[in-house]
Amino acid sequence: MKKAHLLLVGCLTLVVLLAVCSTGILFAADSDELVNGRFVKTKRITVEVYDRSNAGGSPPEDNFFTDFIKEGLLRDHNIEVEFVPVPRWTEVEVLNNLLAAGDAPDVCVTYSYPTIQTYASMGGVLDLAPYLEKYKDLLPDLWGWLGDDNIYWNRDPESGTVWAVEARLAHNTRINTFVREDWLKKLGLEPPTTLEEFEAMLYAFKNNAELLLGKDADKMIPYSTSFDIGWRNNYLLTSFVPESLTDKERYIYGFDDRQLLLPGYKEGVRKLNEWYNAGLIWKDFPLYGAGDQTEDNLMKSGYVGAFQHNWDYPYRDGENGIHNSLQRLVGEDAVFIAVDCFKNDAGFYRKFLPAPVDRKVFFPSTNDEPLASLLYLNWITKLENRKFLQIGEEGTNHIVLEDGAIQMLSVTGNKIMNSPQNIDYTITINGLELGDPELTIKSLALAYPGVDARFIEIAYPITSNDARYEKNVQVGDIRAEEGMGPALKEKRDNLLVQAVVAKPGQFDTVWDRGFEDYLASGGRAIIEERKAKYEQYYE
């Protein structure tokens, strides 16, 4: 009887344990239960958003557009969203600190894939592959917009891991070269079409400073740049890269997003060094770091004759932007216009543009709501939602013209957009996309409040003229790149600045020393691993 009693108790205990376990499993399964697309139980996620510190901007984590997103996610999916601001110009460093501390937002975005790789190798990033497949039917807008190419862009060819999905570039643009159109007319010059003509124009600006600036002649800056030499002079620098560059060479040496390692690049930097020592470049450019507005203010005040920057840079930011400020302070004729003038050895205006991928969206391992986070990405990708985020409220942010084109309006206060087309919220898309290609292009030219459409119509085709697009090379993670992004970026930026401001006779010494330091600090190891991996998978 005693043995029977013990057996009965044991059986009952086992039944209870099984019930508890099965209930636990049921609870775990039910935690992601959806009814009509909404979670039965409210989910809470945090989402990274860039803080650009715009003058006159709104708090990036709390404004009209964040409210639109929060209300929509709560209404449609029962998801509460909190935005976490991260400084745009130091995003890699800040994101590194957040990941290291385990405090990163559930949905993270960065331009730096090596940063993601670093923490993925330490178990700090979720593998998205199983979630993307499991919940594919719940993510029609995300899959429909990004497609297999962008979803699987970073898939490891052996393990199948996907540490991040790639946002899609609606318009594959990079930078442009801008010159003062009114100064050209005053001096009887045509827009430059070659390096030689561009250089002659800079000397003409310098030598005619009094005519162009009057009493402010001593403030003349023929050509302006910033500490980010590699970005702000990219089309000049890469025009020295030979046309014979192979796809293999571009992959092996192309891990630096400023193309520092491509053959011929040094000679482009030498040309900048020549201009600097001739007094053609803003002499104080190394003194001002990321986010500083001094250079923009010099442009707005009318002291700058030419510069390279993001393809539409002078036309951004409405009333506070360079174009409108320059016209207001100097005169209606004072405008910057885009030009194409840097040919390579084969006579092409070659630009090395990326594939149609943009920012990388990933989830840290501290994210315990992957489905809610994926539904967030799907929601902001849905055409009607991303369209509202890109053009805002009719009558406030834009008006609709008779032909259906969208014309943007200048806005201040809570409904202002802190980034072009609100790209800091539409993190799966970069560039205006209204669901109709013809309407999109017509509207794009009108998307800059206070700016004549002709300036956009000139700038848009130039930025990708004779472009050579990057090809997707899937060889798995490059271990030598892990953790090296910030360190190599700093060395690159320092090398370029030091080389530009060096005395002419010291240029080669400064360049060679800094370049060798870059290679010895991790660059050479990356090159060797990329070469080996490329040959393993493609040869």
Lateral strand order in the sheet of 108-110: 108-110, 357-362, 165-169, 429-430
Domain with CATH 3.40.190.10 in the chain: 33-171+357-386, 175-353+470-538
Q: What is the pLDDT of residue 19?
A: 40
User: 94: part of which helix (H) or strand (E)?
Assistant: helix 91-101
Would you say residue 438 has pLDDT above 60? Answer: yes
CATH architecture type of domain 175-353+470-538: 3-Layer(aba) Sandwich (3.40)
CATH architecture type of domain 33-171+357-386: 3-Layer(aba) Sandwich (3.40)
The Cα-based distances of 284 to 220, 281, 374 in angstroms read 13, 9, 46
User: CB–CB of 383/435 below 8 Å?
Assistant: yes
Residue type, 13: T
Q: What is the mean pLDDT of residues 212-231?
A: 97
Q: What is the pLDDT of residues 86-136, one digit of tens each?
A: 999 899 999 999 999 999 999 999 999 989 999 999 999 999 999 999 999
Mean pLDDT across the chain, nearest whole number? 93
User: CB–CB of 446/453 below 8 Å?
Assistant: yes
Band of the pLDDT at 30, cuts 50, 70, 90?
low
Look-up of token digits 């979670």: 39
Q: What is the pLDDT of residues 51-63, one digit of tens each?
A: 999 888 999 999 9
Q: What is the pLDDT of residue 349?
A: 98
Lowest mean pLDDT among 1-15, 143-157, 233-247: 1-15
Would you say residue 31 has pLDDT above 90? Answer: no
Q: Where are the beta strands (DSSP E) in 161-305?
A: 165-169, 175-180
User: 87: part of which helix (H) or strand (E)?
Assistant: strand 79-87
Look-up of token digits 């009952």: 12
User: CB–CB of 381/428 below 8 Å?
Assistant: yes
Q: Computed over its alpha carbons, how large is the radius of gyration of the chain? A: 26
pTM score above 0.85:
no
User: CB–CB of 60/427 below 8 Å?
Assistant: no
Q: What is the pLDDT of residue 445?
A: 86
Q: What is the pLDDT of residues 354-395, one digit of tens each?
A: 888 999 999 999 999 999 999 999 999 999 999 999 999 999
